[in-house]
Amino acid sequence: MTKSRFKLVLFLIIVSSSYLFPQVSPDEALKFLQSGNSRFVSGKLDKKDLRGEVKNLQNGQSPYAVILACSDSRVPPELVFDESLGKLFIIRLAGNVATPEAIGSIEYAVDHLGSQLIVVLGHSKCGAISAAVNGGEVTPNIEKLLHYIAPAVKEAKSIGEVPDLVKVCVDMNVKLQIKNLFAHSQLLEEKAASGSLKIVGGVYELSTGQVKISGH
Ligand SMILES: [Zn+2]
């Protein structure tokens, strides 16, 4: 294939894939998530054709949002945002921590799949946060995980007596992990500065199913 023909083929592939998977702006993506969560809370879920989606998505994906969530079994992002296949690129780690592996996965979605919104999603009564607050003996691997949460606990404790320290730490941990995403990823930092990426926080309330978005 000649060089110019190769360029033409490449151009056509890019054009056709953006036609098949139009990019969703950060604000639009946030609206999708918020309306999905409202449907989840009200119990009026969208009808989904999962078998059809399997077929439609077999050759590509263009998730409109990346969610860095906790592994807690009660907070599965696709369900709490009433979403289908191919829409959310999800990284789940106890305490929704931005480890290098988590950041690498996020960079992949932003750089190669066109995602323009990242949500760091904490939740009420998080076990990982409670463990970081209460201390005690844990395995070396859990210790490594808690190490990412420790600065949030330190900061929360520094503000003095609060009625619910875990709750304060959940909020602070979301903010801390957002800060870590910017601090440890040049790609995310540059994309956010150019306006083609937004990073927001959210906290899922176990008692209601509602996600409160912050920092946008
Ligand atoms: Zn948790």
C-alpha 70 – ligand 1 centre gap (Å): 5
Residues 87 and 47: their CA atoms lie apart, in Å, by 15
- Reported as a single tens digit per residue, the pLDDT across 112-149 is 999 999 999 999 999 999 999 999 999 999 999 999 99
Q: How far does residue 148's CA lie from ligand 1's centre (Å)?
A: 13
pLDDT exceeds 70 at position 178: yes
pLDDT in tens, 42-97: 999 999 999 999 999 999 999 999 999 999 999 999 999 999 999 999 999 999 99
Q: How much is the pLDDT for 15?
A: 47
**Is the pLDDT higher at 27 or at 215?**
27
- pLDDT of amino acid 23: 86
For the chain, what are the domain ranges?
A: 25-214
Residue 97 CB contacts under 8 Å (≥ 6 apart), including other chains? 128, 145, 148, 149, 173, 177
Q: What torsion, rounded to 10 degrees, do the Cα atoms 165, 93, 111, 59 define?
A: -140
**3-state SS assignment for residue 66:** strand
- Ligand 1 (single-atom ion) residues, CB below 5 Å: 70, 72, 126, 128
Q: What share of the chain is helix, strand, coil (3-state, %, to 5)?
A: 55, 15, 35
Q: What's the CA-to-centroid distance between 71 and ligand 1, angstroms?
A: 6
- Distance from the CA of 38 to the center of ligand 1, in angstroms? 21
Helices 140-158 and 165-184 sit at what angle, rounded to 10 degrees? 110
- pLDDT value of residue 10: 55
Q: How far is the CA of 74 from the centre of ligand 1 (A)?
A: 9
pLDDT surpasses 90 at 6? no
Tell me the pLDDT band of 160, cut-offs 50, 70 and 90.
Answer: confident
Amino acid identity, residue 75? V
Task: Report the CATH number of the 25-214 domain.
Answer: 3.40.1050.10
Measure the CA–CA gap between 47 and 50, rounded to whole angstroms.
9
Q: Tell how far the Cα of 164 is from the centroid of ligand 1, in angstroms.
A: 16
